[in-house]
Structure 1
C-alpha cells in the first residue's frame, strides 16, 4: 500500500483537491455518530439515480408495460449498490478516483478515447437535466421552451453560490431535496391506490424475451438507474472524509461506513424509481400515448378521464415542483463529475465556473437545436431524453469494466481490500450481461432504419 501511495503522489494530485480530506470524523465514535459523519457522499450519488431521465423512462415504462419492468429497477438498483461500493472503496483505499486510476493503467491513446466516451455520458446526463428543468419552468411559469433552455445555462450561478457554503452544507441541501421528491411521489402513489399484489409480482423477473420496445425502455431504465458518471464521482467524493490513510483499520472503517451511506441513499433512490413506475402504471396504464411527455403527464394528473377520481391540479403542481428540484439537484453532481473526469483523464484543471459553462453549453446545443428544428415540440425533447438514457446504458461498460478490474486487483487494492471472488464474479456477470444487451439493442435499432 505504501508503494501505491508513492505512485499516487507522483501522479496528478488528489481528486477534487478543494474538498479532499476536509470533513472531520469523530475518533472512537459510536456506530450512529460515525454513520452520520460519513453520510453525504451517498446522497450526491443517489441524486443521479432519480434525475429527470429516470422520470420519463420509469413513468413511461409503467404506462406502457404496467408493472413488468419493476424487476428491471430492482436488478438495476442492486447492480448500482455493488458498483458504488466498489467505486467508494477504490477512492478510499488507493486515494485515486476512477478517472485517475483508468488513466494511470492505460495508454495515452486509449485513455483519450475513454475520456471522450465519458464526457459524452456526462453530456447525456446533462441533457436530461436541461430538458427536465426547461419543461418544469414551462409547466410552472408558462415560459416558452426555447427561453427555458437558455435559462438553464445560468444555473452555474446557483452552483457557485452553493460551493461557497462548504461541502457538508451541499450534502445537507441535496439530502433535503431528495426527501422532498420522495415525499411528493409517496403521496401521489398513495392517492393512486395501485394494485399491491400486481406490484409485488412485478418485482419477480418474468421469463420472456423482451421485444424491441420493451428492451429499449428496459435499457433506458438501466441507463437512468445505473449512472456511469456516478462511478467517477463516488470514487472522488468518498475521499472527502479526514482519516489516517496509513492506518489500515481506519481505512477499513471508512470503507464500511461509506458502503452503509451509499446503500441507504441508493435504497431511497430505488424507492423513488419504483414509485415513478408504479404511478405510471396505476394511473396511466393503457394511456401510454396520452402521457408520452412531461407536459402530458402534468395535464393527465388533473384530467379525470385519464387519472380517474384522484385527478387534481395539486398533483400536477407537486409533480412540476419535484421535477424542477430534481433537475437543479442533479446540476451539482454533474459539475463535480465533469471536474473529476477532466482532471483525472487529461490532467487539465480549469475554474469550476468555466467547467460548468462548458459542460452545460455543450449539453444545451442539441436541446436547443431540437427545440428550434421541431418548433418547440415537447415530444421531440422527450424522445431525445429517452435516447440519452439509452446512450448512458451503452457507455456504462466503459466505466464498469475498469472499475471491476481495478478493485479485483491485489496489486492495486492490496490483499485486504481487493474484491472477494464472489464480488468480482458478480461484477463481471453484470458487465458482460449489459454489454450483450446493448449490442443487441444497437443491432435491432440499426435494423429498423
Structure 2
C-alpha cells in the first residue's frame, strides 16, 4: 500500500469512527462510483442520445431518467456485494453456480466487454480524427497506447487512477455545461419529457430506447463495481460494514446523478440544436460535429469533441479493467493487460479498416449490451437478497422488488426489440 493509499484508508477509518464528518468524512470514499460512472457517459451514449434527440426532440428524455434511476439502484447493489462479501460478482458466480453456468456467463460477459470496448475505442478514435485530423486507423493505435498508460496508474495504488478518471468525468461535465449554455434548450420541454413517458410505433424509437438503456446501464461495470469496493476499505465488523455502505450509497448517488445530468444534456442539446432546426437525421457523430459548427460556432463543436475524447479514453480504460475482473472472476485466470488491450482493439481496427459506419456500429453495440444486461442483474439480485451471504447488508424487500422490476423492464424491451427485428409489427 503506497503512502497516498494508506492516507486515504486512514481518513476513511476516521470517518467510520465519526471523527471526520460531512464532506471531509465522505471524501475518502469517493472513487469507485466515479470509475463506474464513466461507463454511463461513454461514446455509445453520445451515439444513442444524439440520434434520439435529433430524430425525436425531447420526447425520449424520460428513457434517460428511467435508465439512470435503474443504474443508481444496480450500481449501489454491486458496491454493497463487494463490501459485504469481499468478493466481486464474477467470483460469487464461480463459487455458487455450476461450472458450466459460470463459463456461459463468462462468454456472455466477454461479448459485452467487446461491445463496450468497441464503442469506447470508436468514440476516442473519432474524437482524435475530428479534433486533430488524425487518420482513423492511426487514432485507434493512439487510443490503445493512451488507455494502456492510464491503466498503468494502478501500479501506484487505487487513488491515482480514481483521481485521473474522476478528473475526466468532471471535464466531460464542464463541456456539457458549456454546451447547455450555448444551445439554450427549452427548459419546459426538458422538465415535461423527463417525467412523462412517450413511445412511438416507429421502429427507430424502440431501437433507440433500447439502445439508450443499453448505453446507460452497463453489464461490465455491474461486475466491476463490486471489485472496486471489496478490498478498498475493509470492514472489521457489522457496524463498519453498514457505515462503509452508507458512505458508498452517498457516493453512488452523487456520481450517478452527475452521469445522468450529462446524458440528459447530450439529448436535450441534440433536440434544441438539431431537431429544432429541422436536422432530424443526425445519425453520426461526424455529422453532429459538422452540423454544430454552423449552428453554434466552432467553439461549441470543439468543446463537443473534447468531451468525446475524454469520454472515449476514460471509458476504454475502465472497460479493460472490467474485462480483467470478468475473466479472473468467472474462470480464475488472467492474461497480461497489454494482450487484452490488443485483443479488444481488433474489432475497432477491422471496422475502421473496412470503412463501416462507426456511429451505427456504436448504436448496435449498445443494443448488444442491453441484450446481455439481464444476466449480471439477475445474478446480483440472487446474491444480495440472501442473508447467509450478505449478513447485515442483505437487501430490504423493497430493494429486491425494485431491482426485479428493472430486470423485467430490460427483458421486456429486449423481447420487443427481437420481435421487431424479426419483422413483427408494433402498435402505434
Q: How does 1:135-154 map to 2 (within 5 A)?
A: 135-154=126-145
Aligned equivalents of 1:75, 1:366: Cα separation in 2: 31
Aligned equivalents of 2:68, 2:21: Cα separation in 1: 29
2:16 is equivalent to residue 39 of structure 1? no
Q: Deviations over 1:97-124 (max 9, x none)?
A: 1101111121111110100100110111
Moved over 6 A (4+): 19-22
- CA 1:160 to 1:225, structure 2 compared with 1: closer, same or farther past 3 Å? closer
Number of the residue aligned with 2:353? 372
2:223 is equivalent to residue 232 of structure 1? yes
2:336 is equivalent to residue 344 of structure 1? no
2:287 is equivalent to residue 296 of structure 1? yes
- Residue 260 of structure 1: which of 234, 250, 257 is its match? 250
Q: How does 1:201-212 map to 2 (within 5 A)?
A: 201-206=192-197, 208=199, 210-212=201-203
Residue 75 of structure 1 aligns to a residue whose secondary structure is: helix
**How does the TM-score come out when normalised to structure 1?**
0.88
Q: CA deviation at 1:147?
A: 2.4
Q: Is the 8 A contact 2:293 2:301 kept in 1?
A: yes
Q: Deviations over 1:156-176 (max 9, x none)?
A: 541344223431121111111
Number of the residue aligned with 1:7? none
Q: How does 1:121-136 map to 2 (within 5 A)?
A: 121-136=112-127
- Residue 333 of structure 1: which of 314, 318, 337 is its match? 318
Q: CA deviation at 1:130?
A: 1.0
Aligned equivalents of 1:312, 1:429: Cα separation in 2: 44
Number of the residue aligned with 1:392? 369
Aligned equivalents of 1:134, 1:60: Cα separation in 2: 19
Number of the residue aligned with 1:53? 44
Residue 72 of structure 2 aligns to a residue whose secondary structure is: helix
Number of the residue aligned with 1:412? 389
Residue 203 of structure 1 aligns to a residue whose secondary structure is: helix
Q: Is the 8 A contact 1:21 1:240 kept in 2?
A: no
- Residue 436 of structure 1: which of 394, 406, 412 is its match? 412
Q: CA deviation at 1:396?
A: 0.6
Aligned equivalents of 1:204, 1:160: Cα separation in 2: 38
Aligned equivalents of 1:134, 1:143: Cα separation in 2: 9
Number of the residue aligned with 1:193? 184
2:403 is equivalent to residue 427 of structure 1? yes
Aligned equivalents of 1:46, 1:125: Cα separation in 2: 14
Number of residues of Structure 1 aligned to a counterpart in Structure 2:
414
Number of the residue aligned with 2:168? 177
Aligned equivalents of 1:23, 1:239: Cα separation in 2: 13
Aligned equivalents of 2:214, 2:312: Cα separation in 1: 17
**How does the TM-score come out when normalised to structure 2?**
0.92
Q: CA deviation at 1:191?
A: 1.3
Q: Is the 8 A contact 1:89 1:255 kept in 2?
A: yes
Q: CA deviation at 1:436?
A: 1.5
Number of the residue aligned with 1:84? 75
2:249 is equivalent to residue 272 of structure 1? no
Q: Which runs of 5+ in 1 are unaligned?
A: 1-18
